[in-house]
Amino acid sequence: MKIAFIGDIVGRPGREMLKEYLPKIKKEYEVDFVIANYENVSHGFGMTPKNANEIVSYGIDCMTGGNHSWDKKEIKTLFNTHEILRPHNYPDSVEGTGCKVYDIAGEKLAVLNLMGHYSMPYCDNAFSNAKNTVESLHRDGIKNIFIDFHAEATSEKRGMMMLLQGKVSAIIGTHTHVSTDDFQISQGTAYLSDMGLTGCRDNIIGMDKKAPLKQFFTGLKSHFDVPKKCKKILQMVILEINDGKCLSAFKIKQFDDGRIIKSDAWTEED
């Protein structure tokens, strides 16, 4: 099967890039299933029902979340009507789930959403949760497992890779909005510390630069806004998975001026 993953979609600029380019890319590369992180879809904070319906219409099949999942109260009802996940290591009493299994091209794919600890809201241990969930999926005969690990610290993300490489198909990091340059396949597991945002590329993590710069100078927080006009980018990975292993993977950077940069993951020799 071929699956695609899109990291943090930030506001209207991110949604516009999905509308313009996702259907074309999905068709060109014969993608079977698209996963995307939704937590910044609605003006940078959370997701409304309107925007959930909008991005689904562009070809997204499953949506993962993070620390901003709860910023819009309507998210609670969306868990019952849409293919939406929240970090699986939130306590069991929290609405929704962080793990779902899908039938794709005659095979089963589990999508697992986890959240890290450093600079994040309180939640259960991501590593024990991941270990137990993956072992449970294996007992159920499910080998194809994709993980969106939403975390601030690259050390936590790399630690998750060391824990699960060879046991899951892919671990792709989100949250920082800044793409990293460590895309690889090791023991059949694709890994990237951070996918990078889809949205404005010429400000600060997809947000207008004024509020962040003010905070850097004064230490005083203010509301972040998504720019109304900006230069935009769509960033995604496409993975070919079979029998639990990632066979090949590449990343696409689609710019709003038409430029495309495609780069292959390197394969780490066993």
| Number of domains composing the chain | 1
- Write down the pLDDT at residue 123: 94
194-231 b/e (C-beta count within 10 Å ≥ 16 → b): bbbbbbbbebebbbbeebbeeeeeeeeeeebebbeebe
CATH number at residue 247: 3.60.21.10
Cα 204 off chain centre by: 19
Query: 């230490």: which residue's tokens?
Result: 219
Beta-carbon-side half-sphere exposure of residue 244 (alpha carbons within 13 Å): 12
The boundaries of the domain holding residue 231 are: 2-268
Q: Which residues of the chain have pLDDT under 70?
A: 270
For the record, the structure tokens of 157 come out as 């993300």
CA distances from 188 to 156, 169, 171, 243 (A): 20, 6, 11, 10
CA distances from 115 to 34, 55, 68, 77, 240 (A): 20, 23, 11, 21, 25
- Write down the pLDDT at residue 87: 98
* Spatial distance between the Cα atoms of 121 and 38, rounded to a whole number of angstroms: 18
N- to C-terminal Cα separation, the chain: 23
Active site residue 68: yes
One of 68, 150, 175, 177 is an active-site residue; which one? 68
- Write down the pLDDT at residue 56: 97
The conformation of residue 217, written as its DSSP 8-state character, comes to H
Q: pLDDT, tens digit, for every residue of 203-253?
A: 999 999 999 999 999 999 888 999 989 999 999 999 999 999 999 999 999
* Spatial distance between the Cα atoms of 248 and 34, rounded to a whole number of angstroms: 16
